[in-house]
Amino acid sequence: MMFQKISAKLNNYLSLVKFAHSIFALPFALLGFALATIHQSDPLSWKLLFLVLICMLFARNTAMSFNRWADRHIDEANPRTALREIPARIIGQRAALAFCIVNGLLFVVATWFINPLCFYLSPIALLVIMGYSITKRFTALSHFVLGLGLALAPTGAYLAVTGNFDWIPVIISVSVLCWVSGFDIIYALQDDEFDLENHLHSIPVLLGRKKALALSLILHILTVVLLILAGLHGNFKAIYWVGLGIFSLLLFYQHTIVKYNDIRRVNLAFFTLNGIASIVFSVFAITDLFL
């Protein structure tokens, strides 16, 4: 009985932070880590890899729990989100905020054991990843703030290993920014009417569905262009390009199944296709690096 209660509570918190959505940023963090390991010509450090992974875990828990706490009244008013953990009273407001604070502190502590640069940058990283929840109240650029938060993953992992910046992880990070911003615009189509009525900001509200989808497509074209640039600059070989080809096809396929007048398959585009694309590209790119 005790185990069942603990398991149920754990599942509630995993649902609160949408743990399954870690597949968006985590593969790119692993790519940044692999890239740095190759550049350093050092043996793989399992301790450092563990620290990077728990930093990703704590950072994402912080961002998502803060988002759910900050949006609790909005979520309660929106029929699509009214059954989320806080408005449904599955997790209390104070418990969610405490969870956020604890994970934020654990993230900063974990960066201390990586290197001084990561530790000094950790508060800035937290401000960025938590900023998305606030910005959508006053700017349609909130999608790009979310993109920036996930874009920290490859460069952050690279910094964890090397303590220095490099063009390739930065280019990959900018591509992640464009990719995430693009698919978040598609995801926001579900709430454009609610957002408009409640004075919340998004690209679909600002531009309308047709132009929002056009901007999303432009961002995804930029994503591919940047990954091509990263591949050329990094002298990647055939496996990388095969992975990029599959990634590109999955990216553009979502634009064929989501229309301005038919958004029934937004969740398929948002989670399934982008999740698979992230994993496939990163696996192929990392394999290319080590082979």
Span 82-111, average pLDDT: 95
Q: Residues 141, 144, 277, CA angle at the centre, nearest 5°?
A: 145
Span 148-162, average pLDDT: 95
Span 122-143, average pLDDT: 93
243-282 per-position pLDDT tens digit: 999 999 999 999 999 998 989 888 877 888 899 999 999 9
Which pLDDT value is given to residue 53? 95
- CA 1, distance to chain mean position in Å, is 36
CB neighbours (10 Å) of residue 99? 21
pLDDT at residue 27 is higher than 70: yes
Span 225-252, average pLDDT: 96
CA atoms of 22 and 38, how far apart (whole Å)? 24
34-86 per-position pLDDT tens digit: 999 998 877 888 999 999 999 999 999 999 999 999 999 999 999 999 989 99
CA atoms of 269 and 273, how far apart (whole Å)? 5
Which pLDDT value is given to residue 1? 61
pLDDT at residue 143 is higher than 80: yes
pLDDT band at 133 (very low <50, low <70, confident <90, very high): confident
Which pLDDT value is given to residue 92? 93
Q: Can you give the C-alpha Rg of the chain in angstroms?
A: 19
Span 193-201, average pLDDT: 94
Quick one: fold of 25-41+118-290? Answer: Four Helix Bundle (Hemerythrin (Met), subunit A) (1.20.120)
**Max Cα separation, the chain?**
57
- In angstroms, the Cα distances linking 235 to 35, 123, 153, 225 are 12, 34, 22, 15
Long-range contacts of 241-248 (CB under 8 A, 24+ apart): 242/284, 243/280, 243/281, 243/282, 243/283, 243/284, 243/285, 243/287, 243/288, 244/281, 244/284, 244/285, 246/277, 246/280, 246/281, 246/284, 247/277, 247/280, 247/281, 248/224
pLDDT band at 8 (very low <50, low <70, confident <90, very high): confident
Span 208-217, average pLDDT: 97
Q: Where are the domains of the chain?
A: 25-41+118-290
Residue 278 CB partners (closer than 8 Å, separation 6+): 23, 24, 25, 27, 28
Share of the chain above pLDDT 70, in %: 99
Q: Among positive and negative, which fits the CA dihedral 155, 169, 60, 160?
A: negative
Mean pLDDT of the chain: 93
pLDDT at residue 2 is higher than 80: no
